[in-house]
Amino acid sequence: MDKTRIVESDCNHIVVETESEEASWLVFNDCWFPGWEATLDGEPADIAVAFHAFQAVRAPAGKSQVV
């Protein structure tokens, strides 16, 4: 990830803008738990489990917004 910026954040919601030359993982330091939802550029996105505990979203190359 070349650039990552937190646009908005509270205890139940985060908006992150990313910019990268290649696809990469955006890992959140929040415990993975069923029921969390994510969007990538306004479309539903899968949330993966990173390091056996945390939430991660795969962002494509270029500019993206993850919510």
Q: State the pLDDT at residue 36.
A: 92
Angle formed at CA 59 by CA 42 and CA 52, multiple of 5 degrees: 110
Report residue 36 as tokens. 């969390």
Hey, CA dihedral for 40, 59, 38, 4, is it positive or negative? Answer: negative
Domain ranges in the chain? 3-66
Q: For 4-63, what is each residue's pLDDT tens digit?
A: 999 999 988 999 999 999 999 999 999 999 899 999 999 999 999 999 999 999 999 999
What is the value of pTM for the model shown? Answer: 0.87
